[in-house]
Amino acid sequence: MPPETLTPERILEATEEVLRRYGPAKATVVDVARALGVSHGSVYRHFRTKAALRDAVTERWLDRTSEQLKTIVAEDGPAPERLDRWLTALFEAKRHKAGDDPELFATYMTLIGESGGVVDRHVSDLEAQLTALIEAGVTQGAFTAPSPATTARAVFDATGRFHDPGYAPEWSRPGITADFDAVRDLILRGLHA
């Protein structure tokens, strides 16, 4: 049976497993190559530096949330309902990332600290999605927002406690869902035309 073709996706999957096993301080490109059964030079042909590999695996991790949320933005239907679902899905996605695999979440928190540009692109993507939802609400006559982009940034900032990883320790405490519901409802009422 011929060996499987080495692709960036296979490298990223292996990198995630190596990071889970060794943590960001000890994981090396050689470990990733060993897990794939290739030379480290083969990995470097796809990712020129260790930093580029770490950025790519971090981006892949963040994109999982963005892609899930994009489906809500692309749907038809009343913008207030879609915004409600989008905010809820963002909170749930982030909470699951932190709670389902705390060791991997801690690893990604370290990588995020090293990958400012990746995080900035992720935040910009999420704000653009929010802007699209708010623009749809204005078009439908459901929302009042003189500047949908400014409003989107405000909504993103107002809900930061429920998606900013710095607040992850709070996401498992009793009452957090009620707190989220109160903030989400306040936002939706505040946008109402």
Q: 105-138, pLDDT tens digit by residue?
A: 888 888 878 876 888 999 999 999 999 999 999 9
In the predicted structure, residue 163 carries a pLDDT above the cut 80: yes
| Rounded distance between C-alpha atoms, residue 42 and residue 105, angstroms | 28
Q: How many CB atoms lie within 10 A of CB 148?
A: 19
What count of Cα atoms within 13 Å lies in the side-chain half-sphere of residue 11? 27
Contact 94, 162 (CB under 8 A): yes
Instruction: Calculate what percentage of the chain has a pLDDT beyond 90.
Output: 71
In the predicted structure, residue 175 carries a pLDDT above the cut 80: yes
| Rounded distance between C-alpha atoms, residue 69 and residue 120, angstroms | 17
Average pLDDT, the chain: 92
Contact 19, 55 (CB under 8 A): no
pLDDT, residue 20, reads 86
In the predicted structure, residue 2 carries a pLDDT above the cut 60: no
DSSP per residue, 171-192: GGSTTHHHHHHHHHHHHHHHHB
pLDDT, residue 102, reads 82
Work out the average pLDDT over 1-6.
66
pLDDT, residue 30, reads 93
- Report residue 143: phi and psi, to 5°: -120, 150
Work out the average pLDDT over 170-189.
97
Residue 3 banded pLDDT, cuts 50, 70, 90: low
pLDDT, residue 106, reads 82
Looking at the whole model, is its pTM more than 0.95? Answer: no
pLDDT, residue 1, reads 43
Give the tens place of pLDDT for each residue, 17-56.
998 888 888 889 999 999 999 999 999 999 999 889 988 9
Residues in the chain: 193
Give the tens place of pLDDT for each residue, 134-154.
999 999 999 999 999 999 999
